[in-house]
Amino acid sequence: MSDPGNSSGVNVGTARPRFRGSGPILILAVLFVVASFLAWYYTWFGRELSDAEISTYLGDEKHPRHVQHALLQIEQRMERGDPNVKKWYPQLVVLSGSAEPEFRLTVAWLMGFDNKSTEFHQALLKLLHDGEPLVRRNAALALVRFNDPSGRRELRAILEPYPVLSPTEGLLASTLRQGAQVSRGALIARIGQADNRITEIRSPLSGTVENVVAQNDSQVKQGDVLLTLKSEGALRRLGAQMGRLETELIKVSPKVEEEPSSKERAQV
């Protein structure tokens, strides 16, 4: 006689699947993973762009990551000596006049890779008077590759404390102290104006506050120096190549600017 507790009918019944509802959840999980991967892939700067994509991305200023991705790809091709990059030169010149500082400073650096381009040379001379110090510095460094000493003053200015000026008149509110570390774009002060408007002042450079000129709760006028910044990163980078740059600039055109005295050299 068989044992009812071990009958095949009972065993089959207990082995019946219990997770019929897991199918849709599994599909949603897979779709989520795929969507996350595609989002990462299409914003990953390491992804190789086609020529058509580079052309499209360069003109897509509404999506800054697209522009930066295209600029990075062009830089890599220029480093490999790819002559086809010249077809994007007109778009690079257009970006050198963009309202976005990040585009201008990247383009200024890129233009130094082809010191035979007249259009790049002319664009760099304009960028040398840009309102953003990092754009001017990149332009000055790029002009060295063109054997153009026009950026010499800007290069020497890198070694000096950078003065942050008040853009308007009003009551200053700032708690920064001497020696404080600031990053580029960080809020460093506010100015309250007579009409109750507040003007925010952000750091144009990363570095250290060397000197606080205008004190908190003091009245300032437009153009007053609020504080000075010491750009330590720039000093380290420039220190390694300043001697070579000075030699090249003097050799290229010693008549453009009088050669600095020994006292001036000692101060640098």
What sign has the CA pseudo-torsion 180, 183, 186, 192?
positive
Which domains, ranges and CATH numbers included, belong to the chain? 51-158+235-267 (1.25.10.10), 162-230 (2.40.50.100)
Instruction: Of 126, 137, 132, give the one whose Cα is nearest residue 96.
Output: 126
Question: 150: which DSSP letter?
Answer: G
Per-residue pLDDT tens digits for 27-62: 555 554 544 444 434 444 457 888 999 999 999 888
Per-residue pLDDT tens digits for 67-80: 998 999 999 999 88
Q: Do strands 207-212 and 187-192 pair parallel, antiparallel, or not at all (unpaired)?
A: unpaired
What is the pTM assigned to this prediction? 0.69
Per-residue confidence (pLDDT) for residue 175, from 0 to 100: 84
In the chain, the largest separation of any two C-alpha atoms, in whole Å, equals 117
Contact (Cβ atoms closer than 8 angstroms) between residue 141 and residue 111 = no
> In what helix (H) or strand (E) does residue 200 lie, and over which residues does it extend?
strand 198-202
Average pLDDT over residues 126-134: 94
Per-residue pLDDT tens digits for 217-232: 999 999 999 999 988 6
Instruction: Of 120, 171, 166, give the one whose Cα is nearest residue 143.
Output: 120
Rounded to the nearest integer, the mean pLDDT of the chain is 78
Please, which pLDDT band fits residue 244 given cuts at 50, 70 and 90? low
